[in-house]
Amino acid sequence: MADSEDTYDCETCGARVAAADARRSEPFGDLDPETWQTLDCPDCGARLATVFVGDE
């Protein structure tokens, strides 16, 4: 039911990337890397999204 919400379209290379397949890296700026992670395209390395991974 939540499948489509876990997929990101890469604007750089056009790949459709499932969240589980994305590379994860620390976010930029002041965001806490234990609470936020950046999802990167596994094909071209472009940033897809910054997601909240903390639990409160």
Neighbours of 34 (CB within 10 A): 9
* CB-nearer residue toward Zn ion: 23 or 36: 23
Interface positions with Zn ion (CB under 5 A): 10, 12-13, 15, 41, 43-44, 46
Residue with tokens 């390395």: 45
Q: Taking the complex as a whole, how short is the minimal distance between the CB of residue 35 and Zn ion, in angstroms?
A: 25
Q: Which amino acid is at 11?
A: E
Q: Which is nearer to Zn ion, 37 or 48 (CB)?
A: 48
Nearer to Zn ion, 10 or 39 (CB): 10
One-letter amino acid for residue 17 of the chain: V
